Structure 1
Amino acid sequence: MASGSLEVEITERAESTFEDLPDLANSLIIESRSFHRQYASLYFVRLLKLRPAVLKQAELRWGNLPDNPKFVPKVLDAGMKRCYIVGTIYVDMQLKPNVLNDLTQETSLVAPTIPRKYKGTEDKISIEDESGRIQLIGAVLEKEFWVTGTIVGLLGKETSSGAFEVQEVCYPGIAPQPPFPLNDNPKYVALVSGLNVGADAATELKLQLLTEYITGELGTNATQEFSSRISRLIIAGNSIGTRQLIEEDKKTKKYGYDSTRYDSGPLAQFDDLLEEICASVPVDIMPGSKDPVNCQLPQQPLHPSLFTKAKEVGSLSSVTNPYWCKVDGVTFLGTSGQNVDDIFKYTDSDDHIVMAERCLFWRHMAPSAPDTLWCYPFQENDPFILENSPHVYFIGNQPQFEQSIIEGPEGQKTRVIMVPSFSETGTIVLVNLGTLDCIEICIDV
């Protein structure tokens, strides 16, 4: 080395193996979009696939009781002797939006106000199957989360009024899980959501610090060494923000869509940000409720033409919402938050992580679709069913960071993670691929 020259130590980026799980991923891709079909087939397929799992749990719990209750295959055949039935929950909610009522009562073009919660004091809960529907009563109803579309088993008996009095409830339970791999070398997958690129100046500064942290340009040598252990970044929706308009720009155009209002700045800024990050680490980008893509689930990948610079780097993957993948043998499942946000409206609780945990026990990511959560009218399958449990289940765009571990009777172990909006909290979550431990990194200005 020449006299006076400086030796620069280069830190190598950690690399992980990656699989996109084609069987699961392809089930979320919509090849031909036809919306003339009814949603009844989706409910039928859901009941058909989840009924065996519920029945298995019901037989384990109630098959050896002293009074020997029997399984009744059709809910309308439940008699006044104690028995158990399996079917689909339906919650009749007075506060739930009803498009037919909106159309018949329409007197103006003003959109109806959507309540924060659908749950009310006059709600009626029923269970249904191929034979029909029967109303549920009983004190147990006040102790459970009731969401339309969940498949459940109920122990009880029919009353003289024709309702079914519920005494106990069981669910499909946690689905089987592939073995957890042994990863000795600590590596991390970074999770972030709600970037809202271009929304305001404060967000832009936090995004620049986030970029520098992930690419290893921020902090001390120890910080940069730790950042180099991030082997993949997953962005869980709501990435492209909307600039705040000045008062004069808020005046609406009298007729039609005003194309002069379109602002390509946030999208171009997001493309620049992705180009810089993708040069250092592979990135998966999921769409969200505020991104330029279809609003019904499963949301399809953001079109590659939106990222003219980042796609040339070769390490950017535009993926669906929900999204399955496997990193170093660890299975990830994530959504951009719409499923949990909709379940939130069915309950009195404000505990979002409990609602995400319930999805694992229900074996279904989005039970309220298609009732109150828009989704595609699938006919022969329900891609939201959890036939296998992931090792990591993350939900984007949540109010705050939370985490928990859910364990099943057969050794299943799933880390549940609430990923908050980055533009609001400055939070990025790192998941250790060897232990499933989580680290919350906060970037603030």
Structure 2
Amino acid sequence: MRRLLRGLMLPLSGLLLSVSAQAADKPDTPTLDAALKTAVERKAPVLIDFQAPWCYSCYYMARHVLVGPKWHDIEQRTVVVELDADSPEGAYWKTLWGVKALPSYVILKPDGAELGRILAEQRPDEFYAQVNQILKRSTTLDDLKAAAAGSGATALKAVREALAVYRARYDDGGLAWYATLPTEARKRYDADPAVALLIQRLKLLKASKANDVAACQSIAPVVFAGDLSCERPYEIDRWAVCTDGLPEDQRKAVFQSQVAPMKQLADQRVFGSRNAICADQRSVVLALADVYEGTGQFAERDALLRKAVAQVAARAEGKLADDRNAADNWRVFLEVLKDNAALDALYPKLIAAYPDDYVYPFRYGRNLLERGDAARALLYLEQASAKAYGQNRLKVAEQRVKALKLLKRDADARVVVAEALKANGPWFPEDAARLKAAL
């Protein structure tokens, strides 16, 4: 789910999509309309699975979590609907509900009111605990906020859940709501470690959204002192993006403070027992790599990435189609290392293992283009174009235009733009504008 190494991964730059309006008008929404109708008939909640074909965290969930008896039970108790964020319908609802990372699981009442949401990949035990908690309570955020005005354990539980909902929505408005609670109640809640950490994480979110560098610098150490477990990489990234313009010496102390906790996290939850691994192992590795780089430990950074490559290669070699999350992690670690020879060996295998979508021809074409090999890049980008649709059609076209221009084929580039815009229609205006600008 990570945004680290912006520009390396599409388009979360690990993983976050633009949340500004991506459609000029409301598209047809047959998928969700049908799901809500079925939910009313069955008197069952709706579970919306926001995903995309490029989403590595979605690969993990599909392979390791959304399978088996527990998932079958959820399918029986809810109306499950998959929404592709690259399609006009998926992008519309994603923007409307403020879904800012994939995968996201939004759970609705039959009348469409939100019960709660689960953000990013989770281990099976974590995911099902959260789903069952949301389904059990049958209360919306407004209900939780009302309950928080009470007293005792019930009120404290409601405060925790309400703040967690705000965080899952990437909504720092939870701070303003919390400030409206009575002073004495807030004193009690402030003493709760879970509430205190959620408040600090929302403060860091607010500061980072406002690009308030001073606030990010002052809040981050408080957040980092909390029990973040496998989510520590996300908060490090949030701080790092916010403070990216600061001189290195002003950031180095914060990076240095995270060497020990991140190394421990990697040792125990990536390279340790398979029963204890983080669902998002990629983010742990990349965050520790960033921490090493931020402290000038480049040899340690490369050794970490090589270790991660060796681990995932041992698991995925010869069976890339069995676990796409592992296969894609292999690719990313090699890209960070800029190991072009290994990438040239791996990419054709990935394309062969996943022939039904545009993702790996596109990624390989873009990688070759970044290396300056426009002619080879164009061959793969043309393959990707035949399987692209929606938002990714425009992204593929943009890379094709770059390759064509480097090859001095400007007339062909104009044809690519015209055809892509015609097929796209009124959707994804920001991407359409970027494609036009590429000419």
- Normalising by structure 1, what TM-score? 0.22
Larger RCO (CA under 8 A, 6+ residues apart):
1
Structure showing greater radius of gyration is 1
Higher helix share: 2
